[in-house]
Chain A
Amino acid sequence: MSTSSNSPAGIDPRSPRFGAGITAILLLITIALGLGAEASGGTLSQRALEPGFLLLAAITALFAWGAFAGVKRHPYGAIYKAVLRPRLGPPSYLEEPEPPTFAQLIGFLVSVTGVVLHLFGVPYGLVIAAGVAFIAAFLNSVFGLCLGCEMYALLVRARIIRPS
């Protein structure tokens, strides 16, 4: 049997859910700030200094961290390990790190799209990208449904990507 869910390199599945919760809250603030700002007006430098844009840029950088350094090295994971994990019982099962890492990559692609659209002055580009990312982060944190992980499993099964 090649199901390797019991591999010793597994992660606590509550750790990415905790991270997704922080991301969801930050994205909701981004959306509120983006809607509050003048709709994609002003010069490039004015747009680049809007608080909603700066917040989305920071979220994008954190997604990039998770996607390229791996979800195990994500700062939210470190917070979870230091603060929450000692207060909770051991996890009932472990999860492989590849799917949530891929999910971080999808999150990065969605949020970087919002960043680029906003810099080009596309109306509501920032808000729509943040909205899409928010729904995914919310479903992950509240319901445990990780859309990026499901995509990863489907792509592996279709042999479009090979697990490293």
Chain B
Amino acid sequence: MEPLQIALIVGALVVLATLLGFAWQNKQGAVSRRAKPSLPADVPLDLVDSTAVITLLQFSGPFCSYCAAMRGVLGAAAASSEGQVAHREIDITDYPELTASLKVSQTPTTFVVTRTGHIISRIRGAAKPPVVAEEVHQALTTRKAQSDEYLI
């Protein structure tokens, strides 16, 4: 084979691998928000911190290296708005039924949950700190608006 052909094939392989990598990276930290809270609660109340406004409930799995990274990100988010935000981590193997009912298909998966056990949003995979901060901010302002409405 000619050197030019070899260079083209090798180059194409690097481009292909890079595109695959970006496709995977774009899916990490994808957020979906729930339009309306459902009844009954999505999450058992013993998994929610009743003293905080919202709980970041992290589903981790055995041998999941990004779960450890996500633990740091969520822990920092909880520490920066103490009293309002809590972080809880559970293992999917300890909660197989909840994992199935919430359709958790990858670890880590994080839910932003209200004090009443309702899911506000879902973060798939390991997310960067700004993504988590935005979800926390969004959740807290929504909760604030709802409680104001209730007072009126």
Contact = CB atoms under 8 A, between A and B. Distances in A.
Interface string B68-86: 1101100000000000000
A35 interface: yes
Interface in B1-58: 1, 3, 5-7, 9-10, 13-14, 16-18, 20-21, 24-25
Contacts of B94: 1-2
B63 A163 contact: yes
Given A142-B17, A142-B21, 14 more contacts: A3-B64, A3-B89, A4-B62, A5-B64, A28-B10, A31-B9, A32-B6, A32-B7, A32-B10, A35-B6, A93-B71, A131-B13, A134-B13, A142-B18
A38 to B, nearest CB: 9
Tell me what chain B mostly uses at the interface: helix, strand, loop, or mixed: helix
Interface stretch (A41-49, A80-88, A95-103, A108-116): A95-103
B144 to A, nearest CB: 32
Contacts of B21: 138-139, 142-143, 145
B138 interface: no
B92 A157 contact: yes
Contact of A3 (B6, B10, B18, B60): B60
Range of interface residues on chain B? 20 to 34
A133 to B, nearest CB: 11
Interface in A132-164: 134-135, 138-139, 142-143, 145-146, 149, 152-153, 156-157, 163
Interface residues of A, number: 34
A78 B21 CA distance: 27
A4 B93 CA distance: 12
A139 B63 contact: no
A35 B62 CA distance: 41
B16 A135 contact: yes
Contacts of B93: 2, 157
Contacts of A32: 6-7, 10
Contacts of A2: 62, 91, 93-94
